[in-house]
């Protein structure tokens, strides 16, 4: 009888800890973000200025898709340019003011910055174990400050 009581307590305790997570459960625990699928496996997550305009976009390939986990998920130069053109046209970017020496390598990381009148485009990747120079593309509007998600205030740039 005593064993049955112990087993019952263990089963009930386990059942109490294994519960489904609902949208409300996750929302109470984490800040919700919205991402947009630009094309299959490529997502863009925007941030907004206090006036509601986009101030930053982070574009990346998903490491997991319907085919499974994709290793080596960097953008080719052509894909990178197509995605950037898709979310912000050359006209919207303004004049290209990019320095000739716009790429830095720090340890195993590589960063290229492209500066325009209206935006800065940062392309970040890795150099090891295999070079993947375009893993994440961040487009930041130079004249818009993003709202701080926790305080609802503009962040200085």
Confirm whether 154 is domain-assigned: no
- 39-75 pLDDT, tens per residue? 988 999 999 999 999 999 999 988 776 666 666 678 8
Confirm whether 55 is domain-assigned: yes
The whole-chain average pLDDT of the chain stands at 82
Which residues of the chain register pLDDT less than 70?
1-20, 65-72, 149-157
User: What span, in angstroms and rounded, lies between the C-alpha atoms of 118 and 92?
Assistant: 7
8 Å CB contact between 124 and 96: no
Confirm whether 148 is domain-assigned: no
End-to-end CA distance of the chain: 68
8 Å CB contact between 112 and 138: no
**Owning domain of residue 80:** 33-141
pTM for the full model? 0.75
Confirm whether 50 is domain-assigned: yes
Confirm whether 146 is domain-assigned: no
CATH of the domain at 67: 3.30.160
8 Å CB contact between 142 and 119: yes
Confirm whether 113 is domain-assigned: yes
How many structural domains comprise the chain? Answer: 1
Looking at the chain, the whole-number percentage of residues with pLDDT higher than 90 is: 51
Which string of DSSP letters, residue by residue, matches 108-152? TEEEEEEEBSSEEEEEEEE-SSS-EEEEEEEEEETT-PPBPTTT-
Confirm whether 28 is domain-assigned: no
- Rg (alpha carbons) of the chain, rounded to whole number: 22
């Amino acid at each position: 009888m005593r064993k049955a009581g112990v087993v019952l307590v263990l089963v009930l305790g386990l059942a109490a800890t294994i519960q489904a997570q609902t949208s409300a459960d996750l929302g109470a625990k984490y800040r919700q973000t919205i991402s947009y699928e630009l094309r299959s496996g490529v997502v863009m997550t925007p941030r907004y200025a206090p006036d509601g305009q986009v101030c930053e976009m982070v574009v990346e390939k998903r490491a997991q898709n319907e085919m499974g986990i994709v290793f080596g998920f960097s953008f080719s130069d052509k894909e990178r340019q197509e995605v950037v053109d898709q979310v912000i046209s050359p006209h919207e970017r303004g004049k290209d003011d990019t320095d000739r020496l716009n790429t830095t390598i720090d340890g195993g990381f590589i960063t290229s910055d492209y500066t325009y009148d209206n935006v800065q485009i940062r392309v970040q990747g890795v150099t090891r174990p295999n070079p993947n120079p375009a893993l994440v593309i961040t487009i930041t509007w130079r004249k818009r400050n993003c709202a701080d998600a926790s305080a609802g205030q503009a962040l200085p740039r």
